[in-house]
Chain A
Amino acid sequence: MLKAPIIKIIPFSYVDGPGNRSAIFFQGCQFCCKYCHNPETINFCIDCGHCISICPVKALEVIDGKVIWKHELCCGCDACIKICTYNSSPKIRYMTSNEIVESITAPLPFIQGITASGGECTLHHHFIAELFDKIHDMGKTTFVDSNGQTDFRQIPHLIDATDKVMLDIKSVDEQEHRMLTGQSCKVVMENLHYLLSIHKLFEIRTVIVPDLLDNYRTVDTVSKIISAWPEVRYKLIKFRTWGVKGEFLNARVPDDRLMEELENLVRHNGVLNVVTV
């Protein structure tokens, strides 16, 4: 059976799609965003061992040159993540889809479905397709939270198993996108149009960072594109410094006025379903 690297499972999440959902966070991401608020999900552990001595409950040790995390001893203080200089975490479990299903037994009566997030979950598209089929069998919905860097046209098995996608559009400007994420926005934009055309898009998310990004341009462009699909929501996310290790650590948090202006712009462009968080 397939296994995938899981960094965290949150039984109840109110911010990962409609209603109450369990959120599954997968390790690994093609982007390296300067404002990433969970940068420990970007890279895979290189077993450098820097985190071993910081652990207050001795839940980490090196065996045969590999850093081993003892799940049952962990106190959840995240000291290992804070000290990691490689945007990774030693706390990754390789799980089967059955093990994930098992781990959400308790929340199951209280959730509408699950959301695969990350990192970038689509890197594990075969695994997630298998997991989602099992979730559907239990009468629950399946959502993907994606940075849009994997071409959805190339992974129809995942698309078939997914109810809706929540897509990040970090910037519509090629140069700015490269500056922010290290990658092109070409595939992201193609995915936007593709997902709209097959009615699989639930929401677009854009993080607003004053001064450093051309927020107006991105929000204006995206809202004009999605305005023809009234079911699609635009979520504007206030940049917050929490968890950030990258260059944007000292960036300014947008004030309510800026958020309101952008929200009004989205509405003006014909998108009624807009939310600011």
Chain B
Amino acid sequence: MQDILSIVKDAELTFNQRFIAMAKAAEDVIDPIQLSEDARYFVNQKVVYDMDEGKAPYRPRYVIPDYDKFMKHGSPFLMLEPPKDIWEAISNLMILYHHVPGSGGLPVYIGHLDRLLAPYDQDEEETYRAVAMLLKHVDRTMSDAFIHCDIGPYDTRVGRIILDLSAKMQRPVPNMSLIYNEHTSDDFALKAIEAGLVCSKPSFVNDAMYMKDWGSRYAVASCYNVLPIGGGGYTLGRLNLMELGKLAETKEVLMGDLLHRAVMAQCEQMDKRIQFIVDDCRYFENSFLHDEGLIEKDKFVGMVGIVGLAECVNTVLADRKREERFGSSEIANQLAEDIINKIHDMVTEYKPKHGSFYLHGQVGIAEDIGLTPATRIPVGEEPELPIHLAVTARLQKHFATGNGDLYPFDATAKKNPQAVLDIIKGAFKINMRYISFYSSDSDVIRVTGYLVKLSDIEKLESGRAVLNNSTVVGSGAKKGLKSLDRKVQGFKYA
């Protein structure tokens, strides 16, 4: 009950932020999901974690509606006809957004915006006004940087308008990804990079990699969560390899039975949570999204999040010198790859009651301290950028539901966006899945996976309420994960 009182009295939160926190607190009063003894052991050891999604999950964590279908057919439930012009198109979208469930009650995906709007782009000036209205609506009413839209791979006028507006508006919402492939012109990619260096979005998606996993019908949502369109992610579990490394102490113990037990425990927790959503709460039976074919049950998957690979490897190898640690040592990097390969095999073999499970590089939560997100090299231990990129790409291979890293560039890159494009092209050639970048002098910057406005964090830290939910999360990540201290890449000597 103390929690409830502290939420109600938290003056740093707006009414809506308290409202969401209250709903969450209510959900957590009950605890209907029973885990096996072994799974409970790993939960207690902080190895297996349900991401605090709520103890009684009654909806999938990530819902990716088929917005293309919605634009084509409208929605009988919402009494919407297919749009006839750009204004109806954005109006229909804004209406649907309010009916898409997601973490914190807000959608994590608002569509492939240039693809959705290009058919209605008749007049440049009118389209500009309409897209501006849409982006403003999303930012002001659904203020959460886990809200994500996609653009590309083709160069369209709407795509360019979205980039122009993003650079101009300087807002963290929505998060944005550019699907990049051989059809993306250098000119469009450079425009996206120029925007990225002033507002930290879009990130670049290696379409070739994700095509192999999902075909063309996938979306990037939330931080960089890749999920099937017309489906989504039921739940995101999180396997904390740092804590597992501490339990194991040695490589032999880890790679013996312990890793297998932990992965099975994580899978069991997710499996049971998904059964609760589907079988007990019967989510799909009372959703018009499902009835109208905007989502389908067999397009939902479970995501096994990975964090703390770096700490795990360094702990079990007990190496203290920098050159022997993860990121810089081939022995450590090879062990990291072996761990991920093993986890991938186990997760692929596991057969949950609903859907399948895939790996995801989890970006961390605000409370994490000394825990490196996903499979990344820790802040402060980054090798030179070419090596950093190669190690990162190597460890992203199995992460079909998304993995990414971020690279702050110093301001000289703004004068030479081609250099950033060269780096992205090279990284994608060596099978990097996803690249985020920003300029170290920007106000809107990326914290592990989502965007925050530095000036808002300062406001929050001085005790004032701010519009954006993720500012609260970002403020925590700044302190615990040192995430604003990522090595800046650029001009050192000339």
A14 and B490 contact, Cβ closer than 8 Å, known pairs A109-B430, A110-B426: yes
Residue A248 at the chain B interface, CB threshold 8 Å: no
B492 close to A10 (CB less than 8 A): yes
Which residues of B sit under 8 angstroms from A241, Cβ to Cβ? none
Residue A246 at the chain B interface, CB threshold 8 Å: no
Residue A73 at the chain B interface, CB threshold 8 Å: no
Which single member of B390, B422, B430 contacts A20 (CB below 8 Å)? B422
B423 close to A110 (CB less than 8 A): yes
B377 to chain A, nearest CB (A): 15
Residue B386 at the chain A interface, CB threshold 8 Å: yes
Per the 8 Å Cβ criterion, residues 4-20 of A in contact with B are 8, 10-16, 18-20
Residue A277 at the chain B interface, CB threshold 8 Å: yes
Residue B79 at the chain A interface, CB threshold 8 Å: no
A14 and B491 contact, Cβ closer than 8 Å, known pairs A20-B422, A106-B386, A110-B423: yes
Which residues of A sit under 8 angstroms from B90, Cβ to Cβ? none
> Interface size for chain B: under 10, 10 to 19, 20 to 34, or 35 or more residues?
20 to 34
Residue A270 at the chain B interface, CB threshold 8 Å: no
Determine which residue in A14, A107, A112 has the highest number of CB atoms from chain B within 10 A of its CB, and name it. A14
Across the two chains, which residue of chain B brings its CB closest to A16?
B494
Docked pose: A146 CA to B493 CA in angstroms: 16
Which single member of A38, A107, A117, A277 contacts B386 (CB below 8 Å)? A107
A229 to chain B, nearest CB (A): 20
Which residues of B sit under 8 angstroms from A12, Cβ to Cβ? 384-386, 419, 423, 489
Docked pose: A107 CA to B387 CA in angstroms: 8
B493 close to A112 (CB less than 8 A): no
Which single member of A14, A18, A110 contacts B412 (CB below 8 Å)? A14
B387 close to A110 (CB less than 8 A): no
B389 close to A110 (CB less than 8 A): yes
Residue B379 at the chain A interface, CB threshold 8 Å: no
> Interface size for chain A: under 10, 10 to 19, 20 to 34, or 35 or more residues?
20 to 34
Per the 8 Å Cβ criterion, residues 227-267 of A in contact with B are none
A23 close to B426 (CB less than 8 A): no
Which single member of B384, B412, B429 contacts A109 (CB below 8 Å)? B429
Docked pose: A10 CA to B419 CA in angstroms: 14
Across the two chains, which residue of chain A brings its CB closest to B421?
A19
B418 close to A18 (CB less than 8 A): yes
Which single member of B389, B430, B493 contacts A10 (CB below 8 Å)? B493
Residue A59 at the chain B interface, CB threshold 8 Å: no
A277 and B418 contact, Cβ closer than 8 Å, known pairs A14-B491, A109-B426: no
A11 close to B419 (CB less than 8 A): no
Determine which residue in B413, B416, B422, B494 has the highest number of CB atoms from chain A within 10 A of its CB, and name it. B494
Which residues of A sit under 8 angstroms from B420, Cβ to Cβ? 20
Which single member of B386, B389, B412, B494 contacts A23 (CB below 8 Å)? B494
Which residues of A sit under 8 angstroms from B490, Cβ to Cβ? 14
B415 close to A11 (CB less than 8 A): no
Residue A57 at the chain B interface, CB threshold 8 Å: no
Which residues of B sit under 8 angstroms from A109, Cβ to Cβ? 386, 426-427, 429-430
Across the two chains, which residue of chain A brings its CB closest to B491?
A15
Docked pose: A11 CA to B385 CA in angstroms: 8
Which residues of A sit under 8 angstroms from B427, Cβ to Cβ? 109-110
Across the two chains, which residue of chain A brings its CB closest to B492?
A10
Which residues of B sit under 8 angstroms from A117, Cβ to Cβ? 494
Residue A111 at the chain B interface, CB threshold 8 Å: yes
Docked pose: A12 CA to B390 CA in angstroms: 14
Per the 8 Å Cβ criterion, residues 403-443 of B in contact with A are 409, 412-413, 415-416, 418-423, 425-427, 429-430
A91 to chain B, nearest CB (A): 12
Which single member of A38, A106, A277 contacts B387 (CB below 8 Å)? A106
Docked pose: A119 CA to B386 CA in angstroms: 25
Residue A275 at the chain B interface, CB threshold 8 Å: yes
A38 close to B494 (CB less than 8 A): yes
Docked pose: A11 CA to B419 CA in angstroms: 12
Per the 8 Å Cβ criterion, residues 106-156 of A in contact with B are 106-107, 109-112, 117
A81 to chain B, nearest CB (A): 11
Which single member of A10, A11, A19, A275 contacts B418 (CB below 8 Å)? A19
Across the two chains, which residue of chain B brings its CB closest to A115?
B494
A106 close to B412 (CB less than 8 A): no
Determine which residue in A8, A38, A107, A109 has the highest number of CB atoms from chain B within 10 A of its CB, and name it. A109
A-B contact pairs, 20 of them (CB 8 A): A10-B492, A12-B489, A13-B494, A14-B409, A14-B412, A14-B419, A15-B494, A19-B418, A19-B419, A19-B421, A20-B418, A25-B493, A38-B493, A106-B384, A107-B386, A109-B386, A109-B427, A109-B430, A110-B385, A117-B494
Additional A-B contacts beyond A11-B386, A15-B412 (19; CB < 8 A): A12-B384, A12-B489, A13-B494, A14-B409, A14-B415, A14-B416, A15-B415, A18-B418, A19-B416, A19-B419, A19-B422, A25-B493, A106-B390, A109-B426, A110-B385, A110-B423, A111-B422, A275-B415, A277-B412
